[in-house]
Amino acid sequence: MKSRLVSGVAGLALSFSARTALAQGSVPVQLAWRAPASCPQEAQVRQKLRDLLGTNAGDAASSRLRAEGRIDPVGDRFRLTLNIHYDLVNGTRVVEGSSCEDLGGVAAITLALLFRAEHSSSAPLTARDLGGNSTAAGEASQAGEASQAGEASQAGKASQAGKASQAGGADERPSTPPPASENETSDEQARSPESDAANRSKFRFAFRVPELRADVGALPGPSYGMGLALGLRHQAWRFLAAGTLWLGQDYESAPFVGYGAHFGRVSGELSACHGWRFSGLELAPCLVLSLDEVSARGTGVGISSTDPWTPWVSVGAGAQGLWQLNRSLALVLGLSARIATSRPRFVSEGVGEISQVGAAALGVVLGCEWVL
């Protein structure tokens, strides 16, 4: 009686062990899985993996691959984190997609490709094969297409993998490279800080058209003119050369009624400004060096100019405010104060001095700045 009981227990144990071994043998890769209830569960991912491997799933007992997969909701999207282990080699893949069904397919396809790579060559898998810490953006949509391809396509892949493993002549290993879009994205992300730094270090061409200017102090009356400016911009610095053509100005000297002068004026200006940006507004103090040239023609009976063209140089400082409309265009409003390094006099024969250049002048400029 006792021997029969022992035999029965032993038979049950052997039967249970056989079922366990069979069940483990049917699992292609050791997988631990965690996902929300609405997403594919572990059994579904395992089944998908078995379908992809086909007849090769029977070789899973010799696989050294292990994986832990987790799907987490991220806003209205989902993120798959797949940690893959091959002996002491580890890798992590992170994939985001709008469908967690596709992410389950991504996990199964990734593990199936690695399983085939493991059995198609005697060389061990490397960290590059496992994917390192890459982010496989865009694989979710590809996995969705692959999962919709049907069992015929999957069987064809499995048979091709079997043929590759039987060929034995070449050391071919189907790795799992990320799609081209991922490479481009990662390359752009890797290059973007360098390219931004390179762009910031380059000079950019800048010009201002039109510029409306007003000036008081240089000549007896206010002056109004129009001009343009060309220059370069380097980070927060701006270097410009401007030219202005002023409207003509008539002036009568109070002590000599009926006698006066007509002034014509052109000027050039060099400025260097350094800006500080506050949101869309930039404030920039500037240093200014200007060259003015005035033609004075005497007016009145028998009056002529003794010095028709008179140049002088002024130095000064100012400030400009720029309101950025877009990356290339800004509105500019600037104020400046200048001190003349010399004060030429305008003299007429028979009358004497009519006017003299002012010791200081104030200027206002309004314009549009374009940066290329």
Q: Confirm whether 147 is domain-assigned.
A: yes
Containing structural domain, residue 113 = 26-162
347 within a domain of the structure (yes/no): yes
Amino acid at 209: V
Question: Of 142, 162, 182, which one is at a domain's C-terminal end?
Answer: 162
Q: For residues 120 and 162, what is the distance between their CA atoms, to the nearest angstrom? A: 8
pLDDT in tens, 244-300: 999 988 887 665 566 677 888 999 999 999 999 887 799 999 999 999 999 877 776
Q: Which of 136, 162, 188 is the last residue of a domain?
A: 162
Distance CA 95, CA 106 (A): 8
Peptide bond into 210 cis (omega under 30): yes
User: 264 and 149 share a domain?
Assistant: no
* pLDDT, tens only, 142-183: 444 444 444 434 444 444 444 443 444 334 344 444 444 444
Domain boundary among 141, 162, 183: 162
The verdict on 89 and 221 lying in the same domain is no
CATH code of the domain covering residue 82: 3.30.160.100
Into how many domains does the chain fold? 2
The verdict on residue 184 lying in a domain is no
**pTM as predicted:** 0.47
Give which of 185, 113, 100 is closest to 140, Cα–Cα. Answer: 100
List per-residue pLDDT tens for the chain, 372 residues long.
444 444 544 444 444 444 443 344 455 678 899 999 889 999 888 888 888 887 665 555 567 788 999 999 988 899 999 999 887 788 899 998 888 888 988 988 988 888 888 877 656 778 778 875 444 334 444 444 444 444 434 444 444 444 443 444 334 344 444 444 444 444 444 444 444 444 445 789 999 999 999 999 999 889 999 999 999 999 889 999 999 999 988 887 665 566 677 888 999 999 999 999 887 799 999 999 999 999 877 776 666 555 577 899 999 999 999 998 887 899 999 999 999 999 988 776 666 677 788 999 999 999 999 998
Say whether both 105 and 216 belong to one domain: no
134 and 220 share a domain?
A: no
Three-state DSSP class for residue 287: strand
